[in-house]
Amino acid sequence: MKDWRKNLFDCIERPDGMPPRYRIYDVFMMVMIVVSIIPLMFTETNAAFRIIELVTVSIFIIDYILRWMTADYKLKRGALSFVLYPFTFMAIIDLLSIIPVFSAMSNSFKLLRMTRLFRIARLLKFIRYTDKLDILLNVLKREQKVLVSVLVIAAFYVFLTALIMFNVEPQINPNTGEPTFRSFFDALYWATVTLTTVGYGDVCPVTSIGRFVSMISSLFGVAIIALPSGVITASYLDELRNHTKNRKKKTEDNPQNPAA
């Protein structure tokens, strides 16, 4: 009983060091994820899209059940694993990916029309099937203190710049006859796109003081945005080297690998 479940777990989870043939399941699931997203690229719906939805969601349901059946190998908590698994992050993502099938089965589920948005959550399933996203998440977790510090600094500067601009700019723009910033949210929007050096140009200051603040904001934006870039790049390279080294070691130590 345990043998076939262990083989099933190795197939769907593909632990490090397993033979390349165990990659087939990952590739198949990634293809299904991409196919399931195709209907979201169109505003209309038709029979083909409904078939795609039903087929892909059916596969996602089977995948969810299989992972639940082998949860004890994943969480290593014995029988308690089957209770805890539905509350894990990836299990919740899997469940959100399944919910849209109700609206695809019948148009009577009007309250579930918003589940169309849940289909986007299927892209998060890629985290499970690719090591590169896992490496990136580890980097973000390792450098979370730096990133949080930069986020706090950026948020404070956006608020400060928006507050200054909202008060120095005239209520009525002499060029358009309309307010430069109709609300404080408009000022926040302007400050954000200026800090990130995007600058759409749809909202811009007209006074000399306002333009000076805009120049300072743009310069600080370059510094603030560039600050975490070097840290993340260096950390990513370190994580990538460690991941490659550990994976190579596990592959060599795994007796099931023919290359070992």
Does residue 6 sit in the same domain as residue 115? yes
Asked, for residue 258, whether it belongs to a domain, the answer is no
Comparing C-alpha atoms, which of 115, 116, 105, 122 is closest to residue 32?
122
Say yes or no: 7 and 124 in one domain: yes
CA pair distance 96, 107, nearest whole angstrom: 19
Q: What is the pLDDT of residue 84?
A: 92
CA distances to 14, 51, 65 from 9, rounded to whole Å, are 7, 29, 12
Residue 74's pLDDT is: 87
On whether both 91 and 164 belong to a single domain, the answer is: no
pLDDT at 41: 82
Environment class of 152 (CB within 10 Å of its CB; exposed 0-12, middle 13-18, buried 19+): exposed
Any domain includes 214: yes
Q: Are 18 and 10 in contact (CB under 8 A)?
A: yes
Q: Are residues 29 and 83 in the same domain?
A: yes
The model carries a pTM of: 0.62
In a domain, 21, yes or no: yes
Specify if 260 maps to a domain: no
**Among 79, 100, 129, residue at a domain's last position:** 129
One domain, residues 17 and 105: yes
Task: Please give the pLDDT value at position 110.
Answer: 47
Residues 118 and 200 in one domain: no
What is the CATH number for 155? 1.10.287.70
Is residue 48 domain-shared with residue 19, that is, in the same domain? yes
Total domain count, the chain: 2
Query: d(Cα 74, Cα 85) in Å, to the nearest integer?
Result: 9
Cβ-defined contacts of 251-258 (< 8 Å, 24+): 251/16, 251/17, 253/17, 254/16, 254/17, 254/18, 256/17, 256/18, 256/19, 257/17, 257/18, 257/19, 258/19
Same-domain pairing of 120 and 175:
no
How confident is the chain (260 residues) per 10-residue block, as mean pLDDT? Answer: 75 69 81 86 82 88 91 88 90 83 55 59 74 74 84 89 84 66 86 79 78 84 80 80 73 52
Q: Does 70 lie in the same domain as 169?
A: no
189 and 219 belong to one structural domain: yes
The predicted pLDDT at position 68 comes to 92
In a domain, 115, yes or no: yes
Domain membership of residue 32 as a residue range: 2-129
